[in-house]
Amino acid sequence: MKTLVARRTVLSCFSRRVWMLLLLSQVVGMSVAADTEAKRLSETATAASPIRAVWVECQSAELRSRKNCEKLIDQLRETNVDDIFVEVRSMGDAYYRSDLAPMAASLPEDFPDPLGAILQLAHQQHARPLRVHAVLNVLRLYNDSFPLPPAKQHLLKTHPDWLSRDSLGNARDKDRNSYLDPGVPDVQDYLASVALELVKRYPLDGVHFAGLRYPGLEMDWGYNSAALRQFRRETGFMQGTPAKEAENWAQWRADQLTRLLECLAAAARQTSATLVVSVSALASGSPPDPKTTSTPDYRRALQDWPLWGRSGLVDWIVLEDYHEQETEQKEFVQWIDHARKEKGKARLIVGVSGVRNLDSAVLMQLRLALAHEADGVLLYSYQKPAVNIATSNSFLELLGRTVFSPTYVLPPFINEAILSQASAQPVENVADAGKPLNLPPPLPLPEPELIPETVSETDIQVSASRALLGLDKLTPLEPRQGKGWRAAQVVEETLDLKNVPPPPEPDFLGSGWLRVKMKNGTSFVGQKVGSGDETSVFQTRKFGVKLTLRNSQILEAKPYGLPR
């Protein structure tokens, strides 16, 4: 009922200032050609294709010159990235041309529009187009430790009355950040106008709203005087200042975030029905556990992102699954499973933190996310792809050849038993998570020939599977150092992972060879040697291993004539 009340009042964010939005709608018109191009790019993101995305931080050299933007786009194309999440609003400022927010202080005066340059480069007709999502850090306004002072027209100076405050009246958190208060009606109007101006001015493929939560996890923010007046007006509360954990006060503040997101999403979709609206979802700590009464962090931040997915407010949920592989692998996997159940109609994109993990751990988490059937992955960030490397390192090239490759699919022999081991394994059994990869990677291996008499097919499947998840290395095969060992490496890097239990070992071989085409574009030649209710088992000709595949992911299987 409380959520319904919030829905009924959402239109007020436009009705209060409808004249302002109508005026902004005339600022800049988007051309028909640009809209058509955005639609074409958006439609390439089909539900069958995993999203491969990278986050680009704004306070970096990449956004300070045209040349640097060109290098950025070239690198991301080589890495086979499809979607770029570019920060364009970090602290109440703009990394684009805006009449509503001051130009970011870190931008040079001769390059005031990095977003425009990135869009032009990403949408070039002669190269593979990339989808660009503009990232707005919605509520963070400023950090007092930032070396440059805010501009005269910055909201910190023009509207200090919009700042959120804690129950003691402080307007800065422990990290010296200040925030806009989502419970202030004028704040909602202003932020909606910012989103509308952005989509009117640029042919974006998506708009991403980050930081849409209250500061901290103590439910102690939102005590702006205007927000308190609005709370009393809407609820009839007349008992002084509400306690931070009072149920009606907590629910009202959570509703303000939902109301603000409704305003933002409606504004973002004004120019294009195909534009992707996404939001960052907090996934710190442990996910909800029905066996305990603990409150998950996202609820303590008053961020009801499961509601946002179920109600269709957003198209994508970007899960901030920023856990350390070495110590928090169990939480990393559990959050993915929880989000899959709670995301509703939205697609689930799992964010992996290079800021907190070594390169080997980042690669492992990207694979695990896809193994747990996420709709895509996002690397945070381009500037810090892993703790132990820089952007120019060949790690990004490795990602381009493996998990970010459009033809790359994970091995099929990772079954539920092995995945469950990965979820429950203590840190000391995760062999590769605490060690950096040996980069640059070696040259591509020649096509192997598996010799069954030397290395058994079962050994390859189990050993490569466990190595993929970091449970151990390819120790059973390493002493041989023969073609079977090489086959295990190639199988690990080229075949498809499906989270299905292995079927019983068949005691027969099929009568003929088939060319099997998958819906993801890959194909192989093999014999069908078994089947289950929803799976088929093939013995491949090239590698001599058995693949367990979901029938729903097989496009066709036709007879294949082998040369005599």
DSSP 143-212: ETT-SSPPPTTSHHHH-GGGB--BTT--SS-TTSEEEB-TTSHHHHHHHHHHHHHHHHHS--SEEEEE--
Q: Is the pLDDT of residue 77 over 60?
A: yes
Using CA atoms, how far apart are residues 391 and 396, in angstroms rounded to an integer?
A: 7
**Which pLDDT tens digit goes with each residue over 26-41?**
333 333 344 444 444 4
Average pLDDT value for the chain: 78
Query: Lowest-pLDDT range, 204-208, 209-213, 306-310, 371-375?
Result: 371-375
Residue 208 pLDDT > 90, yes or no? yes
Long-range pairs for 240-243 at CB < 8 Å and ≥24 separation? 241/167
Bigger pLDDT: 272 or 32?
Answer: 272
CB 319 within 8 A of CB 55: no
Q: Is the pLDDT of residue 216 over 80?
A: yes
Q: What is the pLDDT of residue 513?
A: 75
When mean pLDDT is compared across 184-193, 441-450, 537-546, the lowest value belongs to: 441-450
pLDDT of 269 higher than 50: yes
Distance (Å, whole) CA 378 – CA 85? 9
- Residue in the structure block whose two tokens are 């038993």: 417
Cα torsion 262, 268, 273, 279: sign: negative
**What is the average pLDDT across 221-225?**
98
For residue 483, pLDDT beyond 70:
no
User: How far apart are the two ends of the chain, measured CA to CA in Å?
Assistant: 72
* pLDDT at position 539: 72
Q: Is the dihedral of CA 12, 16, 22, 25 positive or negative?
A: negative
Q: Cα(166)–Cα(222) distance, rounded to whole angstroms? A: 6
* Mean pLDDT, residues 351-379 taken together: 93
User: Distance (Å, rounded) from C-alpha 454 to C-alpha 374?
Assistant: 37
Q: Which of 355, 268, 341, 273 is nearest to 305 (CA)?
A: 341
pLDDT band at 436 (very low <50, low <70, confident <90, very high): low
Contacts (Cβ under 8 Å, ≥6 apart) of 536: 528, 530, 548, 549, 551, 554
Return the pLDDT at 481. 37
145-196 per-position pLDDT tens digit: 998 899 999 999 999 999 999 999 999 999 999 999 999 999 999 999 999 9
Query: Which pLDDT value is given to residue 223?
Result: 98
Of 520, 530, 523, 466, the closest CA to residue 492 belongs to 466
Residue found under tokens 């975030």: 257
Are the C-beta atoms of 45 and 82 separated by less than 8 Å? yes
Q: Report the half-sphere exposure of 456 (CA within 13 A, side-chain side).
A: 5
Express each pLDDT in 228-245 by its tens digit: 999 999 999 988 999 999
**Mean pLDDT of all residues in 465-477:** 42
**What is the arithmetic mean of pLDDT over 498-521?**
53
DSSP bridge pairs for 530: 537
In this prediction, residues 441-454 reach a mean pLDDT of 35
Strands (E), 417-553: 514-518, 523-531, 535-540, 546-550
pLDDT value of position 530: 74
pLDDT at 283 over 50: yes
Q: Across residues 340-362, what is the average pLDDT?
A: 95
Q: How much is the average pLDDT of 282-288?
A: 94
Is residue 281's pLDDT more than 70? yes
What's the DSSP call for residue 471? S
Q: Are 235 and 251 in contact (CB under 8 A)?
A: no
Among 260-274, 399-413, 450-464, which is the least confidently predicted range? 450-464
pLDDT at 137: 98
pLDDT at 411: 57
The share of the chain scoring above pLDDT 70, in percent, equals 70
Cβ proximity of 436 and 359 under 8 Å: yes
What SS3 state is found at 256? Answer: helix
- Per-residue pLDDT band for 515 (boundaries 50, 70, 90) equals confident
pLDDT surpasses 60 at 378: yes
Q: Which residue has the tokens 């907090």?
A: 282
